[in-house]
A = this chain, B = another copy of it.
Amino acid sequence: MSKFGGFRVARVSASDRRRQLVEAAFRVIGAEGFAAATTRRICAEAGAPVAAFHYCFASKEELFVELTEVTVSALRDAQADGVHIVGGLGPSLRETLRQWWATVEAAPEREVVLTGLTHHALHEPSLAGVAQRQYEAYHRTAAATLSSLADACGVTWSVPVAQLARMLVVVTDGVTIAWLVDRDSDAARTVLDAFAAQVATFASPS
């Protein structure tokens, strides 16, 4: 029996707690920025006592590593079935980018979290390699999208997919950051459409 008026203490498995804390950290960073992500703030958001933090994670950095992995793989899963075929390769690419963009505008926090995590990982020796793996995942996801797009439209890429994938990541990253700053949705869509048209020129019928 708990000491609190007969209510049972909520007992949560350590792995569930980890998930709760990771999700809470995501919400905090997304809404208030990386600097606000203190252990106490995260625990408060998760409704957990402070001591629960270090019962589940050896350190705050360990939480950040897991947060990065979870967020990146959520992004990849969402993109796995994010290919939209509309006529030829050009329109399909454009539509796929537009659909992805809709998810960004609908949930900008994810991008805020990801960019904050990247900046942080670049300077924290204990997180060395985390940012690299993060961007490798981006590139793999982009390459997969481009490949299935080409397959579905019956074309092949005339330049290495890895190169196109990097261009895709570069543009999506850049568009997102610019939009986070000035929220100019029209400009974002224009840039994305122009980019889709350019990349489409690198396809040749197979």
Contact of A116 with B118 in the complex, beta carbons under 8 Å: no
Q: Which of B36, B123, B173, B182 contacts A177 (CB under 8 A)? A: B173
Q: Which of A15-23, A49-57, A144-152, A164-172 contacts B (4 or more CB under 8 A)?
A: A164-172
| Complex interface: stretch among A4-12, A70-78, A88-96, A186-194 | A186-194
User: Which of A32, A36, A134, A135 has the most chain B CB within a 10 Å cutoff?
Assistant: A135
Residues of B within 8 Å of A120, CB to CB, are 33, 35
B-contact 0/1 string along A93-116, CB 8 Å cutoff: 000000000000000000010011
- Among B32, B112, B115, B174, point to the contact of A170 (Cβ < 8 A): B174
Q: Are B181 and A174 in contact (CB under 8 A)?
A: no
Among residues 188 to 206 in chain A, which have CB atoms less than 8 Å away from a CB atom of chain B?
190-191, 194-195, 198
State in angstroms the CA–CA spacing of A181 and B129 once bound together.
Answer: 9
Residues of A within 8 A of B (CB): 32-36, 112, 115-116, 118-120, 122-124, 131-132, 134-136, 163, 166-167, 169-175, 177-178, 180-182, 187, 190-191, 194-195, 198
Tell me, in angstroms, the Cα distance from A25 to B182 when the chains sit together: 26
Q: Are B170 and A191 within 8 A (Cβ)?
A: yes
Tell me the complex Cα distance, A180–B172, Å. 16
Nearest CB of chain B from residue A71's CB, rounded to whole Å: 16
- Please determine whether A167 and B191 come into contact, CB atoms closer than 8 angstroms: yes
Cα of A33 to Cα of B128 in the assembled complex, Å:
13
Distance A134 CA – B177 CA, assembled complex (angstroms): 12
Q: A173-B174, A174-B171 are in contact. Are A181 and B119 (CB under 8 A)?
A: no
Give 23 A-B contacts (CB < 8 Å), ordered by A residue: A32-B123, A33-B120, A115-B115, A115-B119, A116-B119, A118-B177, A122-B180, A131-B181, A132-B182, A135-B178, A163-B190, A166-B187, A166-B191, A167-B194, A169-B178, A170-B171, A170-B178, A171-B174, A173-B174, A173-B177, A174-B174, A174-B175, A177-B177
